[in-house]
Amino acid sequence: TSHPTLLWLRKDLRLGDHPAWARALASGGPAIPVYILDPVTERAMGAAPRWRLGLSLEDLGRRLVARGSRLVLRRGDALDVLRALVAETGARSVVWSRLYDPQARARDGEVKAALRADGIEAISVNASLLHEPWEVETGQGSFFKVYTPFWRAVRGREPSSPLAEPGTLAPPGKWPASETLSDWRLGGGMKRGAAVVARFAAVGENAALDRLGAFVEDRIAAYKDERDRPDILATSRLSENLAYGEISPRTIWHAGRSAMERLSGHAEAGAEHFLKELAWREFAYHLLYHTPRIETENWRPEWDDFPWHADNADAERWRRGMTGIEMVDAGMREMYATGTMHNRLRMLVASFLTKHLLTHWRVGEAWFRDCLIDWDPASNAMGWQWVAGSGPDAAPYFRVFNPETQAARFDPERRYVDRFIAEGRDRPHEDALSYFDAVPRSWGLSASDAYPQPVIGLREGRERALAAYQQRRSAT
Ligand code: FAD
């Protein structure tokens, strides 16, 4: 049993609570961690998540070296690379943490079958979800299409306790060759933006654990009241770390659970609400697993004939944060300059695109995929279809977010808008100015320009959307 085991890392770039690491080490032989930049991974990722992936790999690589191990990097078809590594190292087994998007599942299924046919042990484990999508079932034995009953089914289901970091990483005597991370140029698509966004990122497992600790300490008690306020730092910001598996959802769940036990009354409700939000991520994966079309197709096919516009000039103004509606533009600029956007704004800007601008949700979904350092295939698709009205358990289409009402309710002192809109301010906020540093020069934007006129009147856009909705309803 002294044969090495290959640990194929993907979206599980950490050491703590890592069942695949535990499994690889259990055999007693050496463990060889490998990251493969394969076409399936590359195709899915937009510029910002790709850049951010590079930071995560760099951090993990450093940590492994500090513990006497290494991260082997290879680019190419996943099966080809694994076979080559098996041949080079004499490994007899390959272990990985499961993924749930359809492209990865198809790839992993083929890899598993092919390795087994080669006589190699191929093992996949759960490290990225609290519960496997097939473990949570309705009374009728099918999957959930509505969140509330899903939550009722998972709220009392305790995931097992997180695993400790492995004590030793069992390095092999001889390492297979590794490519060089910088040669992959993962930040290539980010251009100038990277330097700006880097200020807002918290990279790696230690940063993620610090984030969790600070959130539980300072914010979880007020979470229920303040989580919708983009002008306050009220949420955990852990989505960035979850996207690369720098922390496990199980670790987060248990931290929330112990906060619930420690706190009482309102504060306890804050902690419970946090678990409830974490369960939205689970629900997104539940839906993606059971209905993979949610990524690309209207979940409800009756939306296929809705007269959404394809990409267009107004949508380009939306992407650039130049719609002339401050709350919308602030959200879009926050995303471009920081790589994330507050959830309240994600809903608002998505509503503005799909309703006021009558533009297909896929246009927005693609832009988010390019810009978000917390990009997640399941949550992004679910979020867009929820707002657009085409998803399961979606907001009804006629619920058109009003940017002015949203601003009055959730940004009452205009602090959020002032943080991200520079035009017309005597002393613009540095984050508002940083947007102009982040955008490509070719957009020709300057903080000293006049703020744009509205791309559409708020009432006009709302009425046009509702008319299109009525017409479609009467046509069907
Ligand atoms: P917290 O409030 O601290 O919540 C804790 C965790 O719960 C989050 O890290 C996240 O994992 C999960 N969570 C919270 N809200 C949601 C939600 N609505 N759906 C799914 N999971 C949730 N989230 C992503 O991680 N990646 C995306 O690409 C993404 N795209 C979205 C697109 C749209 C149109 C919408 C409306 C939402 C999208 N979300 C996405 C969900 C949500 O906006 C983010 O998860 C949240 O803003 C992350 O901030 P946080 O970590 O501070 O969240």
376 is in an annotated binding site: yes
CA neighbor of 394 nearest in space, from 468, 299, 304? 299
Which residue minimizes the CA distance to atom 2 of ligand 1?
235
- Residues belonging to the chain: 476
Give how far Cα 461 sits from Cα of 303, 307, 398, 408, 443, Å.
Answer: 19, 14, 12, 19, 25
Please provide residue 264's backbone torsions phi and psi, each rounded to the nearest 5 degrees. -145, 170
Residue 228 known to bind ligand: no
**384 in active site:** yes
Protein residue whose Cα sits closest to atom 29 of ligand 1: 380
Q: Are 398 and 466 in contact (CB under 8 A)?
A: yes
Non-local CB neighbours of 375 within 8 Å, separated by 6+ positions? 45, 46, 48, 49, 243, 368, 369
**Catalytic-role residue among 361, 365, 367, 380:** 361
Four-way CATH pick for 1-127: 3.30.420.40, 3.40.50.620, 1.10.8.420, 3.90.800.10:
3.40.50.620
Q: DSSP letters along 267-331, please?
A: HHHHHHHHHHHHHHHHHHHHHHHH-GGGGTS-SSGGGTTS--B-S-HHHHHHHTT-SS-HHHHHH
Alpha carbons 251 and 321: distance in angstroms, whole number: 36
Evaluate: CB of 295 within 6 angstroms of ligand 1: no
DSSP 352: I
User: Helix crossing, 430-438 with 326-338: angle to 10°?
Assistant: 70
CA distance 9 to 417: 40
Q: Would the annotation count 5 as a binding residue?
A: no
Q: Residue 60 annotated as binding?
A: no
Is the whole model's pTM more than 0.95, yes or no? yes
CA of 342 to the centre of ligand 1 (A): 8
Instruction: Name the residue among 85, 67, 71 with its Cα closest to residue 12.
Output: 71
Find out whether 13 and 57 touch, Cβ atoms under 8 Å: yes
- Strand, coil or helix: 134: coil
Distances in Å between the Cα of 317 and the Cα atoms of 307, 314, 320, 321, 349 are: 20, 5, 5, 6, 12
pLDDT of residue 394: 78
Closest Cα to atom 42, ligand 1: which residue? 343
* The pLDDT value given to residue 19: 98
Please give the structure tokens belonging to residue 419. 């943080």
Q: What is the pLDDT of residues 129-180, one digit of tens each?
A: 999 999 999 999 999 999 999 999 999 899 999 999 999 999 999 999 999 9
> In one letter, which amino acid is 80?
D
Q: Which of 216, 343, 368, 372 to mutate to test the pocket of ligand 1 (most atoms within 8 A of CB)?
A: 343
Cα of 375 from ligand 1 centre, angstroms: 9
Q: Ligand 1: distance of its center to the CA of 27 in Å?
A: 37
Quick one: CA dihedral 337, 351, 400, 385, positive or negative? negative
- Chain CA centroid to CA 41, Å: 14
pLDDT for the residue numbered 396: 85
Q: Low-confidence residues of the chain, pLDDT below 70?
A: 1, 476
pLDDT at 192: 73
CATH 1.10.579.10 given to domain 301-475 = yes
134 classed as catalytic? no
Q: Architecture of 129-158+194-290 per CATH?
A: Alpha Horseshoe (1.25)
Residue 438, exposed/middle/buried by CB under 10 A (0-12, 13-18, 19+)?
buried
Query: Which phi-psi region, left, alpha or beta, contains residue 268 (left: φ > 0; alpha: ψ -120 to 50)?
Result: alpha
Distance CA 420, CA 428 (A): 9
Measured distance CA(172)–CA(183) in Å, rounded: 25
Domain coordinates in residue numbering, the chain = 1-127, 129-158+194-290, 301-475
ipTM comes to: 0.99
Residue 303 catalytic? no
Q: What is the pLDDT of residues 105-117, one digit of tens each?
A: 999 999 999 999 9
| CA-closest candidate to residue 37, choices 6, 63, 10 | 10
CA 72, CA 33: separation in Å to the nearest integer? 6
Selection from 250, 249, 475 nearest residue 378 by Cα: 249
CA dihedral 332, 333, 336, 340 (to 10 degrees): -70
Helix, strand, or coil (residue 431): helix
Token representation of residue 328: 């919308």
